[in-house]
Amino acid sequence: MKIINVVGARPNFMKMAPIIDQLNKHPESFSHILVHTGQHYDERMSASFFEALGMPRPDVNLEVGSGSHAEQTARIMVEFEKVCLTEKPDLVIVVGDVNSTMACTITAKKLGIRVAHVEAGLRSRDMSMPEEINRLCTDVLCDYLFTTDRFADENLRAEGIPAEKIFFVGNVMIDTLLKHRELAARVGLVEKWGLKHGAFATLTLHRPSNVDDRPTLVGILDALREISRTVPIVFPIHPRTRKMIEQFGLMDYFASTEKPTGIWLTEPLGYLEFLNLNMHARLILTDSGGLQEESTVLGVPCITLRNNTERPVTCEVGTNFLVGTDRDRILDVARSIMEGRSKKGCVPDKWDGKAAERIVEILSSLRLIENIN
Ligand code: UD1
């Protein structure tokens, strides 16, 4: 079976790495190439992850870069179509919910190529999120839908997707976390920055709904400033967020000390460095999807700065609190966590480091090539 694996943006890399590892264990069954769309291109948003995760360099980089949604999606489609026509794969594997995921799915399907979606079925029910549109379009087209939890299976079935296309395999992002946990523990960033275990918070913030709207961003920053009087907050800042904070003139919120105090900005961190911080944090604050899952597995309380989540299992089973963006509500929940009223949390079913193994086993058992012919 000839496969094209697709990645485009930062959260894709941790999801694809274990799949490539597993495919490499079966050279008699699979040949595969890696296509990077170039949606993320800065060293700290892209190349550094390949190195940390031991991923092969992409065989093809489409170098599409940034743009409006239509521009970016269209550029990916035009360039990816050429690769598909040259390579003639039997299967394309896409992961996650970024523009690259959707663009490559549409392109491949229109050429009659089968597509597998890893992390299928997640739904926020919020159509103002570009990712929700990407998820819906991807899942309706894909032939094989690999899910992380039972909620996702239910979502897909409720949308009329036949049960035989849905495979509950677990969470590939957690495969990567469990594989790198010990290595990350030895990175020593917490000590290097003079932080104390369990006495600091980490923060990520990049959703357009949070960072592109000044009043929303100010409300969040007000709450964070209060929290940072109790514990310093380390904030590896996404390029999009930095741009907006500078544009809105909000740099005064951030400490300009050498070591973490207050809300403390740093450039985007590498995978192992950020995992090193998160595993020792008292609290994680985020609007990202992946971090809701990672905090659940690390057993660290997570405040999600959004009104909805496509990952409800992290709230129902894990350590996640869906809090929204209201200043007072964020402070209430943060206070109660600091006072020890957190959730104990469990690790969801099949988040055990073997999701990619299950995916590759299932792919081995599919008679894909015969089906296509
Ligand atoms: C994208 C994904 C989002 C994911 C996030 C993780 C979509 C619709 N969004 O959002 O789901 O959670 O990645 O980071 O696919 N930029 C740089 N350097 C880079 C990449 C981006 O400076 O390497 C800046 C550019 O100004 C760009 C902006 O960030 O316009 C936004 O990048 P884009 O890829 O469009 O979306 P993200 O916000 O990163």
Ligand 1 atom with minimal separation from the 11 CA: 6
Q: How far apart are CA 168 and CA 144, in angstroms?
A: 11
**pTM, full prediction:** 0.96
206 is catalytic: yes
Mean pLDDT computed over 170-193? 97
Q: CB of 257 closer than 6 A to ligand 1?
A: no
Nearest to 290 by CA among 277, 309, 307: 309
> What was the pLDDT predicted at 15?
98
Strand order in the sheet with 2-7: 60-61, 31-36, 2-7, 91-95, 114-120, 144-147, 166-168
CA separation, residue 327 to residues 61, 209, 211, 305 (Å): 42, 15, 15, 10
Task: Kindly report the protein residue whose alpha carbon is nearest to atom 4 of ligand 1.
Answer: 98
Ligand 1 atom with minimal separation from the 101 CA: 15
Task: Kindly report the protein residue whose alpha carbon is nearest to atom 26 of ligand 1.
Answer: 240
- Evaluate if residue 216 carries a pLDDT over 70: yes
Choice among 36, 40, 117, 206 that is catalytic: 206
Q: CB of 193 closer than 6 A to ligand 1?
A: no
Q: How far apart are CA 205 and CA 242, in angstroms?
A: 10
Domain boundaries, the chain: 2-170+354-370, 180-338
Residue 157 C-alpha to ligand 1 middle, in angstroms? 31
> What was the pLDDT predicted at 342?
85
Q: What is the dihedral of CA 133, 138, 140, 143, to 10 degrees?
A: -170
Residue 165 carries which DSSP code? G
Residue 350 CA, chain-centre distance (Å), reads: 18
- Evaluate if residue 228 carries a pLDDT over 50: yes
Q: CB of 37 closer than 6 A to ligand 1?
A: no
Instruction: Provide the mean pLDDT of the chain.
Output: 96
Q: CB of 63 closer than 6 A to ligand 1?
A: no
- Evaluate if residue 229 carries a pLDDT over 80: yes
Please answer whether residues 274 and 202 qualify as being in contact, where contact means their C-beta atoms are separated by less than 8 angstroms. yes
Percent of the chain with pLDDT over 90: 96
Percent of the chain with pLDDT over 70: 98
Residue 338 CA, chain-centre distance (Å), reads: 26
Domain pair 2-170+354-370 / 180-338, same fold = yes
Ligand 1 atom with minimal separation from the 100 CA: 15
> What was the pLDDT predicted at 373?
40
Task: Kindly report the protein residue whose alpha carbon is nearest to atom 21 of ligand 1.
Answer: 40
> What was the pLDDT predicted at 367?
65
Q: Which CATH number fits domain 2-170+354-370: 3.40.50.300, 3.40.50.2000, 3.90.400.10, 3.30.70.580?
A: 3.40.50.2000
Mean pLDDT computed over 233-242? 97
In the block, tokens 């592109």 appear at 212
pLDDT tens sequence across 11-60: 999 999 999 999 999 999 999 999 999 999 999 999 999 999 999 999 99
Ramachandran sector of residue 159 (left: φ over 0; alpha: ψ -120 to 50; beta: rest): alpha
Mean pLDDT computed over 168-192? 97
pLDDT tens sequence across 265-317: 999 999 999 999 999 999 999 999 999 999 999 999 999 999 999 999 999 99
180-338: CATH topology is Rossmann fold (3.40.50)
> What was the pLDDT predicted at 372?
47
- Evaluate if residue 370 carries a pLDDT over 60: no
- Evaluate if residue 368 carries a pLDDT over 80: no
Task: Kindly report the protein residue whose alpha carbon is nearest to atom 30 of ligand 1.
Answer: 66
Please answer whether residues 275 and 52 qualify as being in contact, where contact means their C-beta atoms are separated by less than 8 angstroms. no
Residue 362 C-alpha to ligand 1 middle, in angstroms? 32
> What was the pLDDT predicted at 129?
96
pLDDT tens sequence across 54-95: 999 999 999 999 999 999 999 999 999 999 999 999 999 999
Q: How far apart are CA 273 and CA 280, in angstroms?
A: 11
> What was the pLDDT predicted at 341?
87
pLDDT tens sequence across 322-364: 999 999 999 999 999 999 888 889 999 999 999 999 999 999 9
- Evaluate if residue 371 carries a pLDDT over 70: no
